[in-house]
A and B are shown apart, each in its own frame.
Chain A
């Protein structure tokens, strides 16, 4: 046998996010960042100059809620589609207990996890909590549309709630963005959709095994079909030469 060339390198890898998920994610990401930038000036005057990004203070006040509606719509779609992979499993708890190993890059000590690790799942659940509440509280204080019809105590509560929820969401967002920068390969995954097999095995072993099983079963299935096909066509030996695609 001649020297085999490395297969892992040339392999197309595994599809992690299809085009729909990717576009959905980036629509949310862009509008979410715009929400943060247009909300912070009202949060604290320290951020007032950010209103310059949106055409001035009044324009920022007008735009922010509309961006919020847009984001909330696409978030709802993503929240539904990502629900199943975000359910917390037992190995996720173990992973969380070893958060020190996660942070210090001692990945070899970590339990294997599924398509999403506990950190990603927490981001999901915090956002699933925050976004609907931000939407509701935001609507309750929205001038000039709904606010005037809302009892004053509820309006105060909503304004306070919106600010605290926004804070929680912003901190979560910062952690989320940083993870994308820190874990090499995850940013490209959300841009191009595919990850390499070694990446999948290293970061999401259970998911990797699942995907590989699917791949093998796919092959076997095709092989089996092929043999059945063979047996029923034994009188046509010419066909045995060709691999079915």
Chain B
């Protein structure tokens, strides 16, 4: 949601927040999903342009690096990019695999789990994961948390940016801009249920055309996603410019952000209290009086010895 967030009251998860967020209006909300049918994409980049257009993004005009990818990677100003891979299949034929790359809107988002700023990342009842940039502090933890390498930190304002799934359009009953712009119907939008059904008919069709490994990419390691793909070769998602095979939140991120943290926080508190109560029980460690007397004796002995030396002097 850009600018002032509308009061959606359907926030089912909020970064760095353990108490419930307003979610009264989550009843009967069906989760939405964007279906990207890679087999129908012709790589025209209309969606990429529509994204810039709707979101008022104007990335720098880059240079051609010898392939169609431009820009070659997601940036704070390009929330989606088309990735082109010239794949040689088993028969030695060329397959041009073109994947629209953007945030997957994970059901269990690693970005949200990693984010330390309360409310900088929210998840709505409809499944959209949105960055509320006004609360973002630019720490980059979301980048570490995301299994799909999606968020980008702007050099201009040090805030994290990514695809919003046009949350602003969707909340007003419109489809995302990219969906609207696609000339081949390769991008579709609807409830998750409907999109899975549709994807099913597409994979059946592809299988009938000889793509026996055609399938749906809806990775369960992150609880499923609200952006799903139909792939001709679902057994090898990596060939689609590095789509991860079994994405999940890295165990390093789980180990960093999971249960240890509240425990460690409690331990820090306990350590401070332990000191206080030890003081109550054992009292301060003081230098006993006898030590004064000991040192007194020693000093006196030293002095006497000095005096003797003195007296021996001619």
Distance A107 CA – B299 CA, assembled complex (angstroms): 23
A191 within 8 A of B: no
Evaluate contact between B287 and A199: CB separation under 8 angstroms: yes
Given contacts A44-B265, A57-B117, contact A143 B138 (CB under 8 A): yes
Evaluate contact between A219 and B306: CB separation under 8 angstroms: yes
Interface size on B (CB < 8 Å)? 56
B128-162, CB < 8 A from A: 135, 137-141, 143-144, 149, 153, 155, 158
Contacts of B137 in A (CB 8 A): 57-58, 60-61
What are 16 A-B contacts defined by CB distance under 8 Å?
A42-B141, A43-B261, A44-B261, A46-B262, A47-B265, A144-B158, A153-B252, A160-B255, A170-B268, A174-B272, A178-B275, A182-B275, A184-B284, A199-B291, A201-B291, A234-B314
Given contacts A11-B299, A202-B291, contact A182 B284 (CB under 8 A): yes
Evaluate contact between A7 and B262: CB separation under 8 angstroms: no
Distance A61 CA – B306 CA, assembled complex (angstroms): 63
Render A190-213 as a binary contact track against B, CB cut-off 8 A, 1 for contact: 000000111101110000000010
Distance in Å: Cβ of A97 to nearest Cβ of chain B:
18
Distance A114 CA – B278 CA, assembled complex (angstroms): 25
Distance in Å: Cβ of A11 to nearest Cβ of chain B:
7
Contacts of B250 in A (CB 8 A): 153, 156
A residues apposed to B, CB below 8 Å? 4, 6-9, 11, 41-48, 57-58, 60-61, 103-105, 107, 141, 143-144, 147-148, 152-153, 155-157, 159-160, 163-164, 167, 170-171, 174-175, 177-178, 181-185, 196-199, 201-203, 212, 216, 219, 223, 226-227, 230, 234, 240
Distance A57 CA – B286 CA, assembled complex (angstroms): 43
B88 within 8 A of A: no
Contacts of A227 in B (CB 8 A): 313
Interface residue from A156, A160, A183 paired with B285 (Cβ < 8 Å): A183
B residues apposed to A, CB below 8 Å? 16-18, 116-118, 135, 137-141, 143-144, 149, 153, 155, 158, 250, 252-253, 255-256, 260-262, 264-265, 267-268, 271-272, 275, 278-279, 282-288, 291-292, 294-296, 298-300, 302-303, 306, 309, 313-314
Evaluate contact between A184 and B138: CB separation under 8 angstroms: no
Evaluate contact between B253 and A156: CB separation under 8 angstroms: yes
Interface residue from B16, B138, B279 paired with A58 (Cβ < 8 Å): B138
Distance A163 CA – B294 CA, assembled complex (angstroms): 48
Given contacts A167-B264, A240-B314, contact A7 B303 (CB under 8 A): yes
Select from chain A the residue with minimum beta-carbon distance to B271: A174
Distance A152 CA – B186 CA, assembled complex (angstroms): 31
Interface residue from A8, A61, A144 paired with B299 (Cβ < 8 Å): A8
Contacts of B149 in A (CB 8 A): 152
Evaluate contact between B286 and A7: CB separation under 8 angstroms: no
Evaluate contact between A45 and B256: CB separation under 8 angstroms: no
| Inter-chain pairs besides A9-B292, A156-B252, 11 sampled, C-beta below 8 Å | A43-B261, A44-B264, A46-B265, A58-B158, A105-B282, A152-B144, A163-B256, A174-B271, A184-B284, A201-B291, A226-B313
Given contacts A57-B137, A58-B138, A197-B295, contact A156 B155 (CB under 8 A): no
Distance in Å: Cβ of A143 to nearest Cβ of chain B:
4
Distance A153 CA – B282 CA, assembled complex (angstroms): 47
